[in-house]
Amino acid sequence: MINVQLGGNISTNVGGLQTLRYGNIEDHVNGLEVVLSDGTILNFLNKLKKDNFGPKLWKLFCGSEGVFGIITRASLKLIPKKDYKSTYLIQINSLNKSIRLLKYLRNKYFDNLTSFEIIFPIPSSLLFNENKNNYNLIIEIQSNDNKNYKNELKKYFSSMNLVINKREDNKAKSWIWKKREILVYNQIKYNFTEKFDISLPLDKWSTFINKINTFTKNNKEFTPYFFGHLGDGNLHCNFKVNPFTKKNCSNLSKFIYELTIKNQGSVAAEHGLGLKKNNLLKKYKPNKNYIFLKKLKKHLDPDFKLGKNKLFKA
Ligand SMILES: Cc1cc2nc3c(=O)[nH]c(=O)nc-3n(C[C@H](O)[C@H](O)[C@H](O)COP(=O)(O)OP(=O)(O)OC[C@H]3O[C@@H](n4cnc5c(N)ncnc54)[C@H](O)[C@@H]3O)c2cc1C
């Protein structure tokens, strides 16, 4: 038994920069102990890999932001760390090429491909001081082979005319990942403060981005600042809004949410809903699903003691 605090991570079903390879935290949970609002302690802890002795009810508590119960203990699945890591910063000139590259690498290296991040032109130009038409990719390969496929990848990237701007091998303090962190802070610095955390199926990214391009061309008050975890479909599509008015912000969010749903996406990919987005389930989930969720809440926490107004309004 080890003592770490993961309740928040499990109840938000955290993912991150390697979700492509490792999934969200629910993929590493094998059972939970939870306390309901009336004080009932439910022990769903489990060490078994194969267990269909009833449904996995603890899954309800992953990603439900604490509104059904408090997680007090977890059984986790641990996996060994890979020995070697190479991180590439690659310049590329189109989204479609990036998607083709992801498919090729995922097919060839499967679970040795741990990250595939995309940075669209505006954040790229601000971050790397470069041409406004370039995209940048951060690609990470981890394996137990000490060559870590470096030669074959070098040849492949060069055959595709892709520029490797930097490669880091087994770096504890990575310059590339530091830049990825700065990218997030730059949003505030440059006023890209209207943020949407969505995810889309890979085959819908191009359609979605084409619609956005037309929208921003016709509505000059919105400037996009896009980056995301292309590998797992999560796009942070953020904007500068000028003039920053309530009406402009509401038009923008309506447009983004409707376009996302139309393309079979999710309007809350990795940051959850909390209090700020507690109107979205009612608006965008099928009504029957929303009613089922409310009934479940009423059953597990009839007096709304837990997480008041989180996920949806009481
Ligand atoms: C700036 C920012 C960037 C982020 N980037 C990413 C990202 O890149 N990838 C990603 O996946 N996520 C991201 N997140 C989301 C973040 O990972 C989650 O907020 C995080 O996992 C929460 O963990 P915490 O320990 O901070 O929990 P807290 O913030 O303390 O709690 C989060 C939620 O869980 C509930 N909770 C806390 N403990 C328990 C418990 N024991 N039982 C039941 N419910 C509980 C709280 O009530 C709250 O609703 C980001 C969040 C922020 C604010």
Domain assignment present for 297: no
The answer on pLDDT for 30 being more than 80 is yes
293 in a structural domain: no
Q: Which atom of ligand 1 is nearest to the CA of 19?
A: 11
For 37-65, write each residue's pLDDT tens digit. 999 999 999 999 899 999 999 999 999 99
**Domain-embedded: residue 278:** no
Q: Residue 7: CB within 6 Å of ligand 1?
A: yes
Q: Are residues 64 and 91 in the same domain?
A: no
Q: Are residues 134 and 209 in the same domain?
A: no
Residue 224 within any structural domain of the chain: yes
C-beta of 307 in contact with ligand 1 (< 6 A)? yes
In a domain, 242, yes or no: yes
**The predicted structure's pLDDT at residue 263:** 98
Kindly give, in sequence order, each residue whose CB lies less than 8 Å from that of residue 170, ignoring residues fewer than 6 positions away. Answer: 84, 85, 86
C-alpha of residue 273 to centroid of ligand 1, in Å: 11
Which amino acid is it at 211?
A: K
What percent of the chain lies above the pLDDT cut of 90?
95
Residue 160 CA to ligand 1 centre (angstroms): 39
* pLDDT reading at 1 higher than 80: no
pTM given for the model: 0.94
Number of domains in the chain: 3
User: What's the pLDDT tens digit per position in 125-180?
Assistant: 999 988 788 999 999 999 999 999 999 999 999 999 999 999 999 999 999 999 99
The mean pLDDT value for 106-132 works out to 94
| Ligand 1 pocket mutation, candidates 11, 37, 62, 185, criterion most atoms within 8 A of CB | 11
| Cα dist from 154 to 36, 160, 283, 303, whole Å | 54, 10, 47, 60
Residues 6+ apart with CB under 8 A from 100: none
Q: Is the CB of 60 under 6 A from ligand 1?
A: no
Residue 307 lies in a domain: no
Q: What is the pLDDT of residues 189-231, one digit of tens each?
A: 999 999 999 999 999 999 999 999 999 999 999 999 999 999 9
**Whether residues 58 and 90 fall in one domain:** no
Cα of 224 vs centre of ligand 1, distance in Å, is: 26
Q: Determine the distance separating the centroid of ligand 1 and the alpha carbon of 119, expressed in angstroms.
A: 24
On whether residue 1 sits in a domain, the answer given is no
Domain that holds residue 113: 83-175
Looking at the structure, do residues 42 and 62 belong to the same domain, yes or no?
Answer: yes
